[in-house]
Amino acid sequence: MGRRTLLATAGWLAAAVLATLIGVAAIRLVGESITGTPGGVRSQAEVERALAAPEPTPAVPSGPAASAPSSPTGGPAATPGQRRSFSTPGGTAVAECVGSEVRLVSWAPAQGYRVKDVDRGPDDDAEVTFTGPAGEFEVNVGCIGGEPVARPGDSD
């Protein structure tokens, strides 16, 4: 009986080791899609560079079937202008100009901060206020020459 028990235990251990090796090999074969973040984790500087980069311009179809996009009112839609990223210790905002008006496209508070107030526009100015442990930080933007620019915050 001792020999049978020893052989059964050795067989069970061999099966367990084999199953573990097959599982590890399968995970390595599948790669990061199961075990990690696809594309890795980006730093704040990489995110800011990506947000500041101009978006690729879609190909415009040509020929008789091509027409200008329209707005919900039926007229031609305004073409968005250049986007620009603005950063403070409290967070980051991305703005774009449409004609002489600016609008906030997106905003994100830094870690430990939250959004206190947002005026996203479109208007002659747009702003977002972040609040957190070091106080309040405001991103206030307007348009000059079709490009978003930072403006001084409210003085009231």
Residues 25 and 84 both lie in one domain: no
Q: Which residues contact 57 (CB under 8 A, 6 or more apart)?
A: none
> Is 67 part of any domain?
no
Residues 140 and 85 both lie in one domain: yes
- pLDDT at residue 25, rounded to an integer: 79
- pLDDT at residue 48, rounded to an integer: 78
Residues 31 and 82 both lie in one domain: no
> Is 155 part of any domain?
no
Distance CA 88, CA 130 (A): 9
Average pLDDT, the chain: 77
> Is 132 part of any domain?
yes
* Residue type, position 66, single letter: A
> Is 65 part of any domain?
no
> Is 71 part of any domain?
no
pLDDT in tens, 44-72: 887 777 777 765 544 444 444 434 333 33
The Cα-based distances of 156 to 78, 129, 152, 153 in angstroms read: 33, 14, 12, 9
What is the domain extent for residue 9?
2-35
Total of domains in the chain: 2
> Is 61 part of any domain?
no
